[in-house]
Amino acid sequence: MRNFLAFIRRFRVLLFFALLQGIALTILFTFSTFPRSQYLTTASTVSGTVMSWSNDVTKHFELSGSNKKLQEENKWLREQLTVNKLALKAPMGIDSVVLTKDDFIQRFEYIPGEIISSTFSRRNNYFTLNIGKKQGVERGMGVISDQGVVGVIHNVSEHFSVIKSCLTKDINVDVMISSSREPGLLKWDGVDPRRGSMIGVSNDRSIKKWSQIVTGGKSGIFPRGIPVGKVAKTAPVEGQPIWDVTVLFAENFRTVQYIYVVKNILKSEQEKLEETIPDDPIEDE
């Protein structure tokens, strides 16, 4: 109490002036029309601006939550597609019955995540994800977005992982032309982040411009049919019987943010079986 009285005594002139100023402004805004209207207009403007900022911040956090919810819904819907399942039996003949959901087992699952760091202007470009071993991510898993293939998991920690994106020198994703099923490998020359190359296509094949290029599914990293891009142009490779196919990527790697890591549940079983394949015998000379 003593300190409070000392404060009043020390600043009594300033406090008295502030009191008189407050009374004068109250009388002015109460009985004078123009200053009152100006005050109310200014107050409304300031209040509206603050509310707008508050609303923008609220919408930002709500949008983030909505995106995560939408990702979870897309994950579930994607996993219901037949391409992500393995048929336990195949229809035999025209008169066979249509397969039901009980005739399939799940082969591919999807782990939703977000890119938190990325590059696209280097010779080899890597993206960092906000998911890792704790979410079930492992090295060698494929990564896709809603638009198409993004890359392959290169390294993993407990809570983060790094993608070797399609914009790297040795990405080597097995792909095919959707209409003809002509196989090839996806490459990137390090020049244009919007375009890659499909190599290994024989030049005795006719390739239409804008044909869709999708994953071949042979490696087991991606399901068959995930979009990769479209044929932008073809040119013969000098001295070789193959086409140089320019691919316009389905995904814009400058802006991609939300992704799904592809988990092949049956990959270990497939690899274990393939290990039993004997090597070609060496022929006697």
How many separate domains does the chain show? 2
Predicted pLDDT of residue 271: 85
Would you say residue 274 lies in a domain?
no
Do 120 and 40 fall into the same domain? no
Contact between 114 and 129 under an 8 Å Cβ cutoff? The reply is yes
* Residues 156, 25 within the same domain: no
Cα–Cα distance measured from residue 124 to residue 277, given in angstroms and rounded to the nearest whole number: 34
Q: Are residues 187 and 119 in the same domain?
A: yes
First to last CA, the chain: 110
Residues 54 and 108 in one domain: no
Cα–Cα distance between 187 and 208 in angstroms, integer? Answer: 20
Residue 122's pLDDT is what?
A: 93
Residue 284 lies in a domain: no
Residue 131 neighbours by CB distance under 10 Å: 19
User: pLDDT value at position 232?
Assistant: 96
Structural domain contains residue 22: yes
Verify that 24 and 106 share a domain, yes or no: no
Q: Is the pLDDT of residue 185 over 70?
A: yes
Whether 121 and 249 share a structural domain: yes
pLDDT band of 41, cuts 50, 70, 90: low
In a domain, 194, yes or no: yes
Is there a single domain that holds both residue 168 and residue 252?
Answer: yes
Q: What pLDDT does residue 192 have?
A: 94
The verdict on 125 and 227 lying in the same domain is yes
- Under the banding of pLDDT at 50, 70 and 90, the label for residue 115 is very high
pLDDT > 50? residue 284: no
pLDDT (0 to 100) of residue 6:
73
282 is a domain residue: no
Mean residue pLDDT across the chain: 83
What is the 3 state secondary structure string of 135-186? Answer: HCCCCCCEEECCCCEEEEEEEECCCCEEEEECCCCCCCEEEEECCCCCEEEE
Say whether pLDDT at 161 is over 90.
yes
Tokens of 118: 């990325």
Give 4-40 pLDDT, tens digit per residue. 677 677 777 777 778 887 787 777 666 665 555 565 5
* Apex 51 CA angle, 47 and 53, nearest 5: 120
Domain carrying residue 40: 7-59
What CATH number corresponds to the domain at position 113? 2.40.10.340
Phi, psi (degrees; rounded to nearest 5) at 10: -70, -40
Q: Are residues 25 and 153 in the same domain?
A: no
CA–CA gap between residue 228 and residue 247 (Å, rounded): 8
Q: Determine the average pLDDT of the residues in 159-177.
A: 94
Domain-embedded: residue 77: no
Domain-embedded: residue 72: no
In angstroms, how far apart are the furthest CA atoms of the chain? 115
Q: Report the distance separating Cα 182 and Cα 172, nearest Å.
A: 16
Question: 53-102 pLDDT, tens per residue?
Answer: 555 555 455 566 677 788 888 888 888 888 888 887 765 554 555 666 67
Residue 113 sits in the same domain as residue 253: yes
CB-based contact 108:141 (threshold 8 Å): no
Residue 2 belongs to some domain of the structure: no
Q: Is 261 helix (H, G, I), strand (E, B) or coil?
A: strand
Q: Is the domain of 35 the same as that of 111?
A: no
pLDDT at 208 over 60: yes
Q: Which residue has the higher pLDDT, 39 or 257?
A: 257
Amino acid symbol at 217? G
Whether 126 and 210 share a structural domain: yes
Taking the C-alpha atoms of residue 109 and residue 77, their distance in angstroms, rounded to an integer, is 11
Distance CA 274, CA 207 (A): 33
- pLDDT tens-digit profile of 216-236? 998 899 999 999 999 999 999
